[in-house]
Amino acid sequence: MRILLTGSSGWLGQTLAPRLKALGHQVTGLDPVAADQTTIIGSVADRGMVRSVLRDGRFEAIIHAGGLHKPDIDRNSRDTFMAVNVQGTFNLLDEAVEQDVPRFVFTSTTSLMISAAIRAGRAGGMREAAWLTEAMAPEPRNIYGVTKLAAEKLCRFYHDAFGLAVVVLRTARFFPEADDMAHAIDQSDENTKANELLFRRLTVGDAAEAHVVALQRASDLGFGLFIVSAPTPFRPDDCAALMTDAPAVVARYFPDYPALYRRRGWTMFGSIDRVYDASHAASRLGFTCKTGFAEVLRGLAEDGPQARG
């Protein structure tokens, strides 16, 4: 399959492009920044460039993994976010229809689901963790979330109006940068990321594989929107306790975790304010992340009794 991959120089793109090529696909990488997997240097905000690339490439699918992200808020204006994340997505969708590209996979974010109330730990007006599914009506708290939600709505419109097969993946965190969680400041980055696999993270390898599955399933689904995150062990009735005593809740599901964490010198978050439920992706898309908290514990157990880090 001939595939245009935007964001090919990014963390996801550099992982996804080799995976697609290994499956026999012809991948053209598009990104403003040069890198190993990038074929064309350019921005999706440039409509003329997008038109030319799609016309010349005769693509069978677009994976739109490019765009500005949350860390870019401090470095870019709201105008730039609108131009890249909204106008850029519109350019790709509109040209996909004009040039008969039948499949479109869009990388969105679970960040757009986090309102100011959820961020403050008051889901539904209650002091409990928010249980987040695709059924909720998002209220984004920043320009990143607003533009990503607008791009999702464009994806839905182009499916409804023109029959374009579109899969939207709301990916949880998989970035390599150090985390910004205020209550994790005394933890190592490795410790924090391990904790997040319980409720709000996946590996970049799993993120890439989700896009491969979405590409394969797009025509059958017609349209699909999915949260993609490591499977959580938690249930909705854990939400109150997760806010007040997360370590006790985790220990109920993983009785061996406290000893393994002590041996490593790690700690659990005292409070967890949200849980992303990825069960819809498992049942409808047919995708489940391979790496979760259980795999972390298995690795810690195999490390032996000596603490590291």
Structure confidence at residue 290 as a pLDDT band (50, 70, 90): very high
Give residue-wise pLDDT tens across range 15-35: 999 999 999 999 999 999 999
The beta strand positions in 142-181, using DSSP E, are 165-171
Q: Please, what's the b/e burial string for 23-37 (b: 16 or more CB within 10 A of its CB; e: otherwise)?
A: eebebbbbbbeeeeb
Q: What is the pLDDT of residue 126?
A: 62
pTM for this one? 0.94
Identify the three-state secondary structure at position 40: strand
Which CATH architecture does the domain made up of 2-302 adopt? 3-Layer(aba) Sandwich (3.40)
Give residue-wise pLDDT tens across range 291-309: 999 999 999 999 854 333 2
Give residue-wise pLDDT tens across range 88-144: 999 999 999 999 999 999 999 999 999 888 877 666 556 899 999 999 999 999 999
Assess whether pLDDT exceeds 90 at residue 67. yes
Q: CA-CA distances (angstroms) from residue 93 to 32, 72, 159, 174, 285?
A: 19, 23, 9, 25, 22
Q: What is the pLDDT of residue 180?
A: 60
